[in-house]
Structure formats: structure tokens, C-alpha cells
A and B are shown apart, each in its own frame.
Chain A
Amino acid sequence: MSELWQLSATALAAAVRSREASAVDVAEAHLDRALRWNDQVEAFLHLEPEEVRRQAREIDRRIAAGEDPGRLAGVPVAIKDNLCVRGQPATCASRILEPFVPPYDAHVIERLRVKGAVLFGKTNLDEFAMGSSTENSAFGPTRNPFDLERTAGGSSGGSAAAVAAGLAPLALGSDTGGSIRQPAALCGVVGMKPTYGLVSRYGLIAFASSLDQIGPFGRTVDDAALLLEAVGGADARDATSAGVPVPDLRRPGDVKGLRIGVPRECFGEGLAPDVRALVERAIKDLGKAGARIEEVSLPLSVHGIAVYYIVAPSEASSNLARYDGVRYGLRGDGKDVEEMFSLTRGEAFGPEVKRRILLGTFALSSGYYEAYYGRAQRVRAAMRHEMEECFKKVDLLASATTPTAAFALGEKTDDPLAMYLSDVLTVTAPLCGVPALSLPCGRTAAGLPVGLHLTAPRFGESVLFRAARAAEQMLPPFAWPPEPPR
């Protein structure tokens, strides 16, 4: 019999609802593991065992009273620390928000409570979700459970590592340029970025508003689908909410007759040979299962990183203007209000956040706006058009999620551009507003996980999960990382 922490979220909810296991037992199994592992992995910035137990007891009480707490009954869900949970810190891994305790719940948190989930701590990230390794966290990096000297990826590295190590069966992250899918790939779990507008961002601390989207992590495609179904759907408090419900994600895995496009541009130089081999084999397997595999071309996608590193920092420079020491967070000294703003921000933001604020301010400043932001948004519109045209010919796109498996901590910290380029395969989906999912497709010779990346048209979540489920059935099953030294 598996330990409770080894069970899928789907199995845990079933066990709790049928009273085979109590929510308290489920919570204790994960707390025991999280408290033991977190020193090594540093997945959580904040975890309050008593608060976890309190929620679990409440679920058990409701079940004992004959109520059904919901489809996530008693399932622990780890929460990226840029999402607001009433009464718990939300630091965004930044000094500037270290004292901040949100007075309200994000939309996705309200949904999780309604579905009976147990909110299980706040996970580490790159400061304000800016980064690809969690090394930009003001509180130290998350480590990859498969190799503690390597990155868990980022920015949602804490959420990915927590799920991979069995500290929580599910986690929420946010994805702006790849921040869910890249760490999912590097930690060997499933991570998914929904269509722009499918999940309300009310209560997500904003980074780049035309790109940010909240999405699920799980160890199986079913689990990721379960979490997306719980948190997605319309919300009037987010003006970018598309107002549509999450489509049916429960269709059985099947790729027969699906046309899967393989973009030539995703298989250029820079793709590590071991990653390429595993991804090509996975795509071939999809072909054997009845999908029609064809090469396609997205010539503009090669400009994704350039477009992204204008659009995202520009929006960030505007969004982060709110951290001025007035309404929340830290405040620096200063003899007048202007000096106070400047010192607060200069002292409390980390180097990468400063770099991006400056880059964005530059791209939006008088005389440069048209040449940079305006140009980038025109190329972006053309990229989106190119993607839409491509989806007239194929149902899905397949590629690698990342050009390499997990890189060593410290390897790219002195070279921001090299770090940016690790997002090269994931930025296109958010720039075009389309959904994309990463699922594990094997391990390198060194035992490091590799991700297969599937992209669908806008609101194509149903076909995306159907194909992912089919791929999962053919690929090696999730394998646990080595146990931590005691």
C-alpha cells in the first residue's frame, strides 16, 4: 500500500470523501514530509502546520456531518507566494513585501476553499516571478529534488519542487514567459499555462498583465486537470477574465486523427542532444498512437525572447510602480516623498527586478517608446496571426519545454541574457495568449527529467489535456526523486 503522500490528488480526494482516510491523516503525511525535506529543497517560504491542521480538521468535521466538501476534499495544495491568501504572508520572494499580509483571498484561493482543498503553505519563486531558476528569490534558491546542486527552474520553482518531492500533490503557480512549464519540465512533473483569460488573476500580484496567467502543477495529467477545473472560470473582478467556463478536461486520452505540428524553429541549435532525443521519441510515440505528425514553421517565433524582454519588463515597470513605501511593504527613509520613493525601491528590490524596471522604463520612455514597445507589440501581433494560421492546419504543436535539463545553481546568475534564453521555447505561448502544457517524457543519462511541451489554440484546453493524457500513457511514468539524506 502506498503512503498517503505518494497518492495522486484524485486518489486522495476519493479516499477522504469515502472516509478511507481522514483529511488530518493526509495533512500530517504531507507535513511530516515537507518539514523534513524543506531544509534541503527550500520549496516553501512559509508553512504553518497548525493552520494546515485546522483546515484539515474542518474538512473532517464536514464529512462527519454528512456534507461533501468538494472534489478536492482534504487535498493539500501548495500556493506560489505571489498569490494572496488572507492572513498569510505574500512576499513575492521580495524584501519589499516581507511585512505584507494580504487582507483578502485571491479568486483561485476562494475557489480552492469552496472545493474543500487544504491550503498548504506558500512556495518560493524568483522575486516578483522574474527569473528562470528561483535564484532571484530574496530568501535563497529552491533546489531540484533530483539533484540538489541544480535549479528547480523558475519562477514557480518552489511549487514544482514541492510536487516532485511529494511535499504536496498539487500546487498553483503563475506563468508569464514559462514560469510554470519550465520548472515543471526541470522537476519532472506536469505544469500547465491556461489560455489568457481562463483563470481570474484577482489576487495574483501583477508582473506583466498582458501575459500573466495562473495554472496548475501535478504529478499526473489528471491531477493538473482537476486543479485547473477547480480554479478556472469567469470572475468579474478581473477585467481580462474571458468569462468562459473551463471546458471538459476529463475526456480519455486519445490522439487518433489529431494533427500535431512540430515547429522546425524549436529544434535548432541550442537544443541539447539528450533533450532532443527524448522529445523526438515522445513525438514519434504520438505518431504510433495515431496522431498525424507534420513539420510546420513559425518563422516569427525566433523573435520571441526579444519581444518578451521588451513587453514583460515594460509592463513590470508600470505594475511595480505601486511599491513606493506608502500603502504596503517596506519604507525607506528620505527627507521628502520623492527621496523616500527612490530609497525604498532602491534598497528593497533585488538586482534582477531593478534590471527589468530599468529596461521597461527605458523601452517606454519618451523617444524610445515607438522603437521598442510599439515595435515589439507589432511583432507580437504578427506572431499571434502566424500562430492562428498554423492552427488552421494542425490541432496541436509539440516541442521540448526547455533547451536543456536542469542547469547547475550559479551557472547563469552572472549572465542575465543566458538566463533569459532558457525561456526560448516557452515565451511564444503567453505572447500569443494560447494554452500550453509540459509533461515529463523521460530522463537524461544523469537522471534529470525532460519535458515535452504541447501547445493548443486559444481555449483548446480540452484537446490539450486529451493529447497530454494519451502521451502520458505511452511515456515512462512519474518516478520519485531520491530520498533526502536524513
Chain B
Amino acid sequence: MAIDPAEVLRIARLARLKVEPEEASRLAKDLDRIVGHIDSLRAVKLPEGAEALTYFGKDVHRPDDARGCLAKDDALRNAPMEDGDFFLVPKIVDKEES
């Protein structure tokens, strides 16, 4: 599978990651080589019905009861923008749509 700059920009859009066009061609070259290496896995012979590893441990559940968590002030302390009660972000919903 060849990765070209257009594919890099498509993936970058999915990852919400701004990539400049000149960066995209360098990244395409790097990713193409790396994917070329990992494509070697296609040739690995696995037993019929081989399952994927999903988890090492056991299924863990805890009782559904209230527990302590970060105090509001602590949770907000690192926020780039907040108003004392909420995290603030740029507008998400357009006026026309709301």
C-alpha cells in the first residue's frame, strides 16, 4: 500500500492534526517506508482461526457506587480557558443550525 501526500492529508484530517503541504510529502515518504516494513506481517502464516489478542487480564468490574474524584477547582486548574464552572471552547454550533 503506497502512502502519498494526499493520503497523509486524509489521515491528518481524521486525526484532527494540522499538517502543512510540505510536511505532508516528507511524512508520506516516512510512513510509506514504515508501512512497507509492517506489510511483512501479511506473509506470516498463522494457524486457522487464530484469534487476536484483546486483553491480558481478566474482566474487571467494581461495584457501581459513588467515589471521590477530582474537585472542580483541581479539574479546571489546567484548562486553557474556563469560567470557574465550565471549560470554555470556541463556538461549536452555528446560529443557523441551532
Q: Say yes or no: is A485 at the interface (Cβ < 8 Å to chain B).
A: no
**A382–B47 touching, CB < 8 Å:** yes
CA distance A378 to B46 in the complex (A): 8
Residues A381 and B51 in contact, CB atoms below 8 Å apart = yes
Please classify how large the interface on chain B is, using the bins under 10, 10 to 19, 20 to 34, 35 or more.
Answer: 35 or more
Report whether B52 and A103 are in contact in the complex, using a CB–CB cutoff of 8 Å. Answer: no
The residue in chain B whose Cβ has the minimal distance to the Cβ of A433 is B56
A329 in contact with B78 given A358-B8, A365-B11 (CB within 8 Å): yes
| B66 at interface by CB-CB < 8 Å | no
Query: CB-defined interface of A313-340 with B at 8 Å, one 1/0 digit per residue?
Result: 0000100010011111111001111111
Measured CB to CB, the closest approach of chain B to A209, in angstroms, equals: 10
**Across-interface contacts of A416 in B (CB, < 8 A):** 30, 33-34
Q: Knowing A305-B37, A358-B12 are in contact, say whether A101-B78 is a contact too (CB < 8 A).
A: yes
A375-B41 in contact (CB<8A):
yes
Stretch at the interface among A221-229, A344-352, A468-476: A344-352
**Residues 357 to 375 of chain A near chain B (Cβ within 8 Å):** 357-359, 361-362, 365, 368, 371-372, 374-375
Interchain nearest-CB distance for A84 vs B (Å): 11
A210 to B57, CA, bound (A): 10
Q: Show the binding face of A for B, using Cβ within 8 Å.
A: 99-101, 103-104, 196-197, 210, 236, 239-240, 242, 300, 303, 305-307, 309-310, 317, 321, 324-331, 334-343, 345-347, 349, 354-355, 357-359, 361-362, 365, 368, 371-372, 374-382, 384, 416-417, 420, 433
B80 pairs with A361, CB closer than 8 A = no
Q: Give CA–CA (A328, B90) in the complex, Å.
A: 15
Q: Is B6 an interface residue (CB 8 A)?
A: no
Contacts of A343 in B (CB 8 A): 18
B15 to chain A, nearest CB (A): 4
- Whether A335 touches B90, Cβ cut-off 8 Å, given contacts A242-B57, A420-B34, is yes
Q: Are B57 and A347 in contact (CB under 8 A)?
A: no
Q: Which of A99, A345, A362, A381 contacts B78 (CB 8 A)?
A: A99
Q: Which of B1-57 contact A (CB under 8 A)?
A: 1, 3, 7-8, 11-12, 14-20, 27, 30-31, 33-35, 37-38, 40-42, 44, 46-47, 50-57
| Residues in A neighbouring B75, C-beta threshold 8 A | 103, 327
> Known contacts A99-B78, A349-B17, A416-B34: does B92 contact A381 (CB below 8 Å)?
no
B87 touches A377 (CB 8 A): no
Q: Does B77 contact A (CB under 8 A)?
A: yes
Q: Chain A residues near B60: list those with CB within 8 A.
A: 239-240
In the complex, how many angstroms separate the beta carbon of B38 from the nearest chain A beta carbon? Answer: 4
Q: Which residues of A contact B81 (CB under 8 A)?
A: 331
**Residues in B whose Cβ lies below 8 Å from that of A310:** 38, 41
Closest residue of chain A to B17 (Cβ to Cβ) is A345
Contact indicator A359/B31 (Cβ below 8 Å)? yes
A contact residues around B30 at 8 Å (CB):
355, 416
> Which of A300, A317, A362, A376 meets B31, CB within 8 Å?
A362
- CB neighbours (8 Å) of B14 from chain A are 361, 365
| Closest CB in chain B relative to A372 CB, distance in Å | 7
- Which chain B residues lie closer than 8 Å to A381 at the CB level? 50-53
Pairwise interchain contact A317-B91, C-beta atoms closer than 8 A: no
User: Does A417 lie within 8 Å of B33, measured CB to CB?
Assistant: yes
Whether A342 lies near B56 (C-beta < 8 A) is no
From A104, A334, A374, B74 is in contact (CB under 8 Å) with A104
Check if B41 sits within 8 Å of A362, measured CB to CB. no
Contact B57 A340 (CB under 8 A): no
Of all chain A residues, the one with the shortest Cβ separation from B88 is A326
Q: Which residues of B contact A349 (CB under 8 A)?
A: 17
CA distance A14 to B15 in the complex (A): 52
Establish whether residues B31 and A375, one from each chain, have CB atoms under 8 Å apart when the complex forms.
no
Given A337-B89, A375-B41, A379-B44, verify A342-B34 contact (CB < 8 Å).
Answer: no
CB nearest neighbor in B for A100: B78
Asked whether, in the complex, the Cβ of B15 is within 8 Å of the Cβ of A361, the reply is: yes
| CB closest residue in chain B, given A102 | B78
| A357 to B16 Cα, complex, angstroms | 10
The smallest beta-carbon distance between A54 and chain B, in angstroms, is 21
Q: Which residue of A lies closest to B18 (CB)?
A: A346
CA distance A329 to B53 in the complex (A): 33
Task: Write the nearest CB–CB distance from B54 to chain A, whole angstroms.
Answer: 7
**B95, CB-defined interface residue at 8 Å:** no
Cβ-defined partner of B91 (8 Å) among A196, A336, A361: A336
Cross-chain contact of A196 among B17, B27, B56 (Cβ < 8 A): B56
